[in-house]
Amino acid sequence: MATTTTTSLGGAGADDRVMATAQQIVKSLNTSKNVREDMLLILSSFDNRLSNITDLISDESSFPQSRLDAAEQVILNRYDSSLPWDDAPDQAEEYMTAVDEILDLLDDLSIRSDNDVIDRAESAVQVAMSKLEDEFRHILIRSTIPLDAERLYGSIRRRVSLSFVSNVDGIDDEQLSNLEDVIVDSSESQRCYHERGPSLSGVDLSVDLISGEAVESLKGIAERMIRSRYEKECVQVYCNVRRDALDECLAILGVEKLSIEEVQKIDWRSLDEKMKKWIQAIKICVRVLLTGEKGLCDQIFSGSDSAKEICFNETAKGCIMQLLNFGAAVSIARRSSEKLFRILDMYDALADVLLDLEEMVSDQFVISEARDVLAGLGEAAKGTFVEFENAVKGETSKKPMLNGEIHPLTRYVMNYVKLLVDYSGTLNSLLEDDENDSNDLQNDDVENTTPIARRLLALLSTLESNLEEKSRLYEDGALQYIFLMNNILYLEQKVKDSELINLVGDQWVRKRRGQVRQYATAYLRAAWSKALSCLKDEGIGGSSSNNASKVALKDRFKNFNACFEDIYRIQTGWKVPYPQLREELRISISEKVLPAYRAFLGRFGSQLESGRHSGKYIKYTADDLENFLLDLFEGTPLVLHHLRRKNS
């Protein structure tokens, strides 16, 4: 009994294997239905286990029809529905299943000749793809997350560094384009500022461009459209929608679509604002938006490398070219000194993101354009720096500064130069092997120096020569030296108290200190020689103080008093802003004048003090003079109204 059962089971298993083989034959034969039936009937005559083969043929022929009917009905019913998929997830899932069913059916029927079924299936796919294309577009648009610029800026905001934007009383930005217009009255409070945007380097930034749930839906649609050979349509929809979305992001970041001609016509103040926005936008665009867009393309089109590449390149191209067009327009705009720092900021920003751009974008036209714009900004920076050098060299204003104060040109140039240190790395690379590099400096000034250091040394030398020329505008020789002391000390202080010292060196500073000492000596000679000549013994007459001519003595004291009062009236109005220099000058004057006055008064004062009206001649004691000297160089003209007189 057990043996019979085993034989029966074994026979049943063999029958199943035979039937499975027959089913495989049915599916694999690439012939007409009639031919397949004839061949399988012949096979059944060799094995009675295939007696049911005709039933198998009948079932096989009707199965695709039933599969198609069910899937086709779902697709056609859904075609006219306006209900968004994300509001009916169950229906969306049913629709996608129906699409999969038809695509699977087409794969099964691909080697057969049931043309009616295939035509119906392909028509259903066409209808489905039209619907999926619309849904793909709808989900892309509806699920796009607007860029929150305030939150983004808040997350990257850092302390900004001082750089160059004019903030000089009485000077507007247009005037600064020509240094000759800088020559106006100025004050110590004048400064130059420039906001450098924060770098995104090392900052982990990410934004959601499309909601996560939508990405999964989009990915599912893309997979089916690509499988159905509708990749081109899917890619086109994606590029159109996302290109507009990125354009909107640029608008939110403050970047306008401007032609080169429009950029050329913008006034500097407005252009400066647009340049600042561009600098931030290029960083955010590459490091945040395009990085996010690249990830989005990789997710949605994970099944097609070609679709990923095309979608990203075409989507990114629009916003990149908009930014590059503005950069190109700036690079060929009229060059003026105030633009240099903003151009350098643009150059640094583009250079900073170029490698990231090259890694993401495979469109060589876009990359080539980016490299060309970077080179153009570099040339614009060099040309603008040369423009500044020439402006300093050619500034020939003929209006001397009141009271010998620091010249606006000196302030402007030194603040400008001081801020160049922040860009020394960039400028060194741009100026390397530049034919404008100065050869006019002494060997000990340029040995082992960088390109920017050589150019700055030459520029400072040009400025000093210009100041020498301007000092000659003063008729008073003593005031010439006050002017030179003030300005050269300003140069020395600006260099010593900033990173400039690392470029121009300690030796440069020591030389300027020596110059200030030389000018101080020359000042003493020019300002006080006449007064001191009144305190000499020569020409008074007699061989001793007792025999001196009273008339000559009276003239000497009167002349000294007149000289001193004139100097006091004039030089109290002169301005020496540095307290230490002011004190040193007063001490030098005291050491030169007071001993001579005391000695002269000691030798000859007694001859006049015994006479009538001696107070007319001996007005001051040495202590009086010392106190009056404390009023010099304060910038407020004073007159000695209350003179101390001695009665005879």
Burial of 16 (0-12, 13-18, 19+ CB in 10 A): exposed
Q: How many CB atoms lie within 10 A of CB 239?
A: 20
pLDDT at 207: 79
Q: Which string of DSSP letters, residue by residue, matches 599-635?
A: HHHHHHHHHHHTSTTGGGT----HHHHHHHHTTTTBS
Helix 622-629 to helix 579-609 angle, to the nearest 10 degrees? 160
For 92, 116, 605, the CA distances from 139, given in Å and listed in that order, are 12, 34, 106
Show the beta-strand stretches assigned E in 343-500: none
pTM of the model: 0.78
Q: Can you tell me the distance from the alpha carbon of 492 to that of 505, in angstroms, rounded to the nearest whole number?
A: 11
**Spatial separation of the C-alpha atoms in residues 95 and 215, rounded to whole Å:** 18
Closest CA to 568 of 533, 528, 599: 528
**Residue 166: predicted pLDDT:** 39
C-alpha neighbours within 13 Å on the C-beta side of residue 401 = 30
In this prediction, residue 175 carries a pLDDT of 38
Pairing of strands 166-167, 191-192: antiparallel
List average pLDDT for each run of 10 residues in the chain, which is 648 residues long: 39 55 54 54 60 49 67 73 63 84 78 69 86 92 87 56 37 41 38 55 68 90 92 96 95 92 93 95 94 94 93 96 96 92 97 96 96 97 94 89 93 93 94 65 58 95 95 95 97 94 93 96 96 88 63 90 95 96 96 95 82 77 95 92 45
User: 419 and 194 in contact (C-beta within 8 Å)?
Assistant: yes
**How many residues make up the chain in this entry?**
648
